[in-house]
Structure formats: C-alpha cells, structure tokens
Amino acid sequence: AQRVTQPEKLLSVFKGAPVELKCNYSYSGSPELFWYVQYSRQRLQLLLRHISRESIKGFTADLNKGETSFHLKKPFAQEEDSAMYYCALAPNSGNTPLVFGKGTRLSVIA
Amino acid sequence: DSGVTQTPKHLITATGQRVTLRCSPRSGDLSVYWYQQSLDQGLQFLIQYYNGEERAKGNILERFSAQQFPDLHSELNLSSLELGDSALYFCASSPTGQRGGPETQYFGPGTRLLVL
C-alpha cells in the first residue's frame, strides 16, 4: 500500500535557523515525490517535485530511496515560510491521484 | 494563480441538504481530481476524471457523486449532507492524465463547506 508519513504535526523554528520537514514514504515501486505548501488554508501550491531537482524559495529536497525519505530542507528560515507543508507521492506507473501525508505546520518565530 | 477555478468559495447549508461544487480546470488540462480536506483526516482523494470518463475512485461516499462535462469542467455533488461533511473541497487538474508517468497537479482555491 502507498503511504506518506510526516511525523511532525507542528515544527517551530526561529527566523534564520535551518529547517527540515520530514517525509517518509511506503511504496514498492519507484515513486514520484512532491512537496506542496498551503498558506492560511488557501490553495495548495506546488513547491517542488524530486524529478525537476529545482530549488524553490530556497527549499530543496532529496529523494533517499534507501531510507524511503524525501525530507524538505532550507538553510535559513524566514517568517513568510510559515505555512502548512504536505508531502505527496504518485506512483510512477501511470497518472494516478496523489497520496498525501497529514502535513506539517511550520511556524517561523521572529 | 494556478488557473484552476472553483465556485462557490463558501457554502453554508443544513444537514440533509444537497449541494453542487464546480471546478474549471486549467486551459488544456484533461484530468480533474477532487480532494477533501478536513481537520482530522487531512487531504483525502475522492475521485478523478479524465476527458469525461471516471478514471479513479478514492474514499468517496455513496452520497457523493461527480461528473466531467464535454467542456471539461467538473461538478461534485454532495447529498444527504451530514455535519461531518464540513470540509474544504479542492479540485486539481493535470494536462493529460494518461498513463505516461505522474504529472504535476494544479490546485484550485477550494470550496469551504459548512454543514449546520
């Protein structure tokens, strides 16, 4: 079964501190992983997907197949990063719906 | 702005009633997905349509149904509403939805449903 686990419901960091939002997945094949961000219960916005290897708003994520993880990182947190972050998985065998984790609320304290 | 639109933004109704949520995908996108976001369950996939045909079904109750029209907009119908149906309902679209590998899904702003 496909599953995405985000172990932290809430993560509070100080402005300027490094951030790491954890994401672990369970899938027998080779998945595509995504990070979406949601500000104040608005629409979900794609932050990044692992296949594109882009860095958006200073965030990066590396797919670690050995640890089945796709942690989201940023070296220096900013107040505007405060939001809800969702890790999502899509099987690579076709265009199927996303499986989301429960989300982590990031709070950046000034 | 993702290009996906949803109406209405907010909906307040009573238990037992029926409502219809509407979604217009990005121009050119053939696939539409519906998700429900509630505080306790997080984001749950409900149903997917591709070019008018149902493609995948998730945790969608029998009281809920959806369809995609020839102009590719989609409607989600929720009937016999219960208090627990109160949630944010998102739709998302992707270009083709064909079996060629995962595509990025672009989300609409959501419809906030409150059942009293």
Per-residue model confidence as pLDDT tens digits over B51-63: 999 988 998 999 9
CA B84 to chain centre: 17
Could you give the angle at the alpha carbon of A81 between the alpha carbons of A10 and A71, nearest 5°? Answer: 60
Whether residue B25 is preceded by a cis peptide bond, meaning omega within 30 degrees of 0, is no
Tally Cβ neighbours within 10 Å of residue B14.
9
pLDDT above 70: residue B97: no
Residue B98: band (very low, low, confident or very high) from pLDDT cuts 50, 70, 90: low
Nearest Cα to Cα of residue A51 among A20, A84, A92: A92
Interface residues of chain A, partner chain B, Cβ below 8 Å? 32, 34, 36, 41-46, 49, 86, 90-103
The rounded distance, in Å, linking the Cα atoms of B62 and B29 is 27
Instruction: Give the number of other Cβ atoms within 10 Å of residue A54's Cβ.
Output: 12
Structure confidence at residue B101 as a pLDDT band (50, 70, 90): low
Residue B107 to residue A92, Cβ atoms within 8 A: no
Q: With 0-12 CB in 10 A as exposed, 13-18 as middle and 19+ as buried, what is B5?
A: middle
Is the pLDDT higher at B102 or at A64? Answer: A64
- Give yes or no for a contact between B105 and B33, defined as CB atoms under 8 angstroms apart: yes
Per-residue pLDDT at A2 = 83
The residues, any chain, with a CB within 8 Å of residue A104's CB and separated by 6 or more, are A6, A8, A9, A10, A11, A21, A22, A84, A85
- Which residues of chain A have a CB within 8 Å of the CB of B96? 95
Closest partner residue to B33 (CB to CB) among A32, A91, A97 is: A97
Percentage of chain B modeled with pLDDT above 90: 78
Which of A36, A41, A94 is opposite residue B88, by nearest beta carbon? A41
Chain-chain contact of B43 with A100 (C-beta, under 8 angstroms): yes
Q: Enumerate the residues of chain A whose CB falls inside 8 A of the CB of residue B113.
A: none
Question: What does the mean pLDDT of chain A come to?
Answer: 90
Q: Per mean pLDDT, which of A41-50, A91-100, B8-17 is the most reliable?
A: B8-17
Residue B99 clears pLDDT 60, i.e. is over it: no
Query: B 12-31 residues with CB below 8 A of A?
Result: 31
- Structure confidence at residue B11 as a pLDDT band (50, 70, 90): very high
Query: A-chain residues within 8 Å CB-CB of B50?
Result: 95
Q: Do A44 and B88 make contact, defined as CB atoms within 8 angstroms?
A: no
Provide the pLDDT for residue A96: 72
Q: Among A49-53, B53-57, B104-108, name the one with the lowest average pLDDT.
A: A49-53
Give A98's contacts in chain B (Cβ within 8 Å).
33, 45, 105
Across the interface, of B4, B88, B99, the residue whose CB is closest to A94 is B99
